[in-house]
Structures are given as C-alpha cells and as structure tokens.
Amino acid sequence: MTGEDDDDIEVFVCLNVDCKSRGAQELLDRLNDRVEEAGLDQVAPEPYLCFSACQHGPNVVIPSRRCWLSGVSADDVDEVVAFLAGGPEPARLKAKNDPKLEKFIFDIIDAGLLPGRGDFFS
C-alpha cells in the first residue's frame, strides 16, 4: 500500500470516444458494482475525459498508485478490484504501456489538470 489508507483512492476511467467505443462505459459500470460489492468504500471510480492514450484504451488510471492500466475490459474488473483491495498489480494490463505516454499522463495529473472530472459527463 502507499500510505493512502485514510484517503479516497481515485480511479479514473476514460469515457471519451475511443475508449467508450471499446467498452469503457461497461467497464466503469462493472467497476462501480464490484467496488460496492467488495465494500471498498474508500475507492472512488470516476469518468475522465481523455488521457491522450486513445489508441491504447480503454484506459484506467489510479493516480495514488502511479498506475496506468491499458486495454482494460469489463472482464478485467475483478483483477483491478483485487489490486485496489491490496492484491498484486495486474502487470499484463501495463505490459503495452508507452513509458513516454505514461509520464505525460502523470505529468498532467500531477499538474492538477483533470479534464472531464466532476459533472462533465452528467
């Protein structure tokens, strides 16, 4: 764990066009369901506008874990939830990540630029 025990664990799921066309909404819906079923009250999945990693989507980013998961499907949700509950990082969902793009994603998030958060999708 990363010292995040007292804080919410934000989980950003891209819902922009490319990720959505590959099942990102189903992914987010299932993630919300499984997180609730698992009683992970500190985990907060939310939609995100775009990570500029569109060709790798659906993309999921967990900033407090410095973790970008790419090519994630609804079928991968149980593995992601197990990770959020303290299990192993799903390495296969990071295997194709471009390191430069990964740096870019976290540079944007670290700068506090969080496009699409909040009520953008409501």
Q: Binding pattern to ligand FES, positions 25-44, x when CB under 6 A?
A: --------------------
Q: Which of 59, 60, 102, 109 binds ligand FES (CB under 6 A)?
A: 59
Q: Is 14 in the site for ligand FES (CB under 6 A)?
A: yes
Q: Is 14 helix (H, G, I), strand (E, B) or coil?
A: strand
Task: Provide the β-strand partners of residue 68.
Answer: 61
In the complex, the smallest distance separating the C-beta of residue 56 from ligand FES, rounded to whole angstroms, is 7
Number of residues that bind ligand FES (CB under 6 A): 12
Q: Mind spelling out the 3-state secondary structure of 27-89? A: HHHHHHHHHHHCCCCCEEEEEECCCCCHHHCCCEEEHHHCEEECCCCHHHHHHHHHHHCCCCC
Q: Is 82 in the site for ligand FES (CB under 6 A)?
A: no
> Would you tell me which residues interact with ligand FES (CB under 6 A)?
14, 16-19, 50-54, 57, 59
